[in-house]
Every structure is written in structure tokens, then in C-alpha cells.
Amino acid sequence: MKRMAKPKKGAVPELTPAQKTAQSWLPIQDLHEGCLFRPDGGVVAGIQISPFSLALKSERERTQAIQGFQAALSGLTVPWQLLSLYRPVDLDSYLASLDTATDAATGTRRRVLGDYARWVRQQVQTGDSVERRYYLLMTRTGKDAVAEHQQSLRGLTDDLARIRGFRADVLTDAAWRELLFLMFHAGQAAVES
């Protein structure tokens, strides 16, 4: 009986032909503890940044938000990337509820709701019904990469929380799956939860 050589620690195991068909085109080896593990040994973690309108802020608040975000990014000591993705939004159920509210309304309220419902339908027809999602992704290598990510992400989200109106959440496994689905199945993202 032939003994198989024990794989080296950190080495990427050889894939069977069946596994190669499903996995060889994805740059992902594993996903757990809020981190995405790449075949090259890189460990990627990140935060999702909720969008907010700078136009609704005063000049002083705008400056503070931009400088705060710039300071947070300047403090990063690992390679990072900002990722911006759009997600189509399915507004059919929202339009149905608007139609119900319009039918139940009277007078001026009915007219205003009807005008608004027409505007929403126009946005859907022109393809403007999307939401934008923002992610800050960071890569580390080494055996302590997961622990280092978890520690630095807590500090980063605390720093960003000091910016008025700014909200950032550490990517969990579920959030990673949603991000990957959005990246690889953007057309279906509007109709599948």
C-alpha cells in the first residue's frame, strides 16, 4: 500500500478533477470567521460601509466626514481596496403597496401618492432602481491573519463610528456570502434574497 505524503502546513491541497470543475475558476479556498481565504495564502476581511449623503450635511460636517475617513484609511498598514457594487432593487411589492395606499386615499393625498407611484415606475423603467453598496477589503498573510484582522477591524469600525452619520459593519460569513452572490450573480440579486 502506497502512503500519501502529508501536505505541508499552509499548502493548498491538490484538487480532484471533480473539484477542479467547480472550484478552479474561483479565487476562494474557504470562508469562515468572517474571513475569505484565498488559494495563494491571502486572508481577506473587511467592512461594509453604509452610504450616506454628504449633500445633506453642512460644509463643516462634510469636511469632518471626509477627513475622518481619510485618517482611517491612512492608518491602515495592510493592502486594502475599496469596492463599490450596485444591486438592482425589485420594487414590485413596494409599487403594489403604493397602489393600495393610493386607492384608499382621497383628495390631495390620492393625487400626491399617484404622482409618486408614477415617478417610481419611471425610475424602474429607466433602470435607475439600484442601491449602491460599499466595502473596504483588507488582505493579510500569515498564521495570525484572522486574529489580526478581527482586532484591527474592531478598531477601524470604532474610528469610523466617530464620524457623524457614518456606519460600518464588519463582514460576517453571511455578509461575505451575500457579497459573493452579488459579485457573481448580479442579475439575480434583485429577485433573490
**Domains defined along the chain, listed by start:** 34-86+133-185 (3.30.70), 91-126 (no CATH)
pLDDT reading at 4 higher than 70: no
- Compute the distance between CA of residue 166 and CA of residue 76 in angstroms, rounded to an integer: 18
Question: What is the rounded average pLDDT of the residues 11-38?
Answer: 74
% the chain with pLDDT above 70: 80
**pLDDT grade, residue 47 (50/70/90)?**
very high
Mean of the per-residue pLDDT values for the chain?
83
| C-alpha cell at position 186 | 448580479
CA distances from 71 to 64, 76, 159, 166 (A): 10, 9, 9, 14
Strands in 63-126 per DSSP E? 80-88
pTM over 0.85: no
Q: Which contiguous run of DSSP H or E holds residue 45?
A: strand 43-50
Bridge partners of 70?
none
pLDDT for 11 equals 56
Q: Which residue would you say has higher pLDDT here, 84 or 131?
A: 84
- Compute the distance between CA of residue 160 and CA of residue 104 in angstroms, rounded to an integer: 44
pLDDT for 15 equals 63
The values of phi and psi at residue 39, to 5°, are -60, -25
Whether the CB-CB separation of 136 and 80 falls below 8 Å is answered with yes
pLDDT reading at 2 higher than 50: no
pLDDT for 1 equals 47
CA distances from 41 to 70, 77, 79, 183 (A): 29, 18, 14, 21
Residues 103-149 have pLDDT tens digits of 998 899 999 988 988 888 887 777 666 778 899 999 999 999 999 99
